[in-house]
Amino acid sequence: MVNNDSNWAKDAAGLPGPASFANIGNAHNSISQMLWPERVLVYSSVFGLRPKRCLEIGTFQGGSALVIVAALDDVGEGKLICVDPFPKVTPENWAKISHRATMIQAMSPEALGLAETAAGGKFDWALIDGGHDYDSLVRDLEGTMPVLENKAYILFHDAHYIDVERGLNDMYYKHRELTDLGMLSMPRVADAGNPGIYWGGIRVARFDRRS
In the chain, what are the domain boundaries?
24-208
Residue 7 CA to residue 26 CA, distance in Å, equals: 17
How much is the pTM? 0.91
CA distances from 24 to 64, 107, 169 (A): 9, 27, 30
Residue 68 CA to residue 120 CA, distance in Å, equals: 18
Instruction: Look at residue 24 in the predicted model and tell me its pLDDT.
Output: 64
Beta bridge partners of 126: 55, 154
Contact criterion met (CB below 8 Å) for 125 and 149: no
* CA nearest to 34, candidates 202, 205, 184: 202
pLDDT tens digits, one per residue of 175-198 = 999 999 999 999 999 999 999 999
pLDDT tens digits, one per residue of 130-174 = 999 999 999 999 999 999 999 999 999 999 999 999 999 999 999
Instruction: Look at residue 11 in the predicted model and tell me its pLDDT.
Output: 72
Query: Which amino acid appears at position 12 of this protein?
Result: A
pLDDT tens digits, one per residue of 76-114 = 999 999 999 999 999 999 999 999 999 999 999 999 999
pLDDT tens digits, one per residue of 1-28 = 344 455 566 776 777 778 887 766 554 4
Instruction: Look at residue 17 in the predicted model and tell me its pLDDT.
Output: 75
Contact criterion met (CB below 8 Å) for 200 and 158: yes
Topology classification of domain 24-208: Rossmann fold (3.40.50)
Could you list the beta-strand ranges (E) of the chain.
53-57, 79-83, 101-104, 123-128, 148-157, 178-185, 189-190, 198-199, 202-208
From the centroid of its chain, how far is CA 203? Answer: 11
Strands 202-208 and 178-185 turn out to be antiparallel
Q: What is the mean pLDDT of the chain?
A: 91
Residue 138 CA to residue 124 CA, distance in Å, equals: 19
Instruction: Look at residue 28 in the predicted model and tell me its pLDDT.
Output: 47
Check whether 29 has a pLDDT greater than 90: no
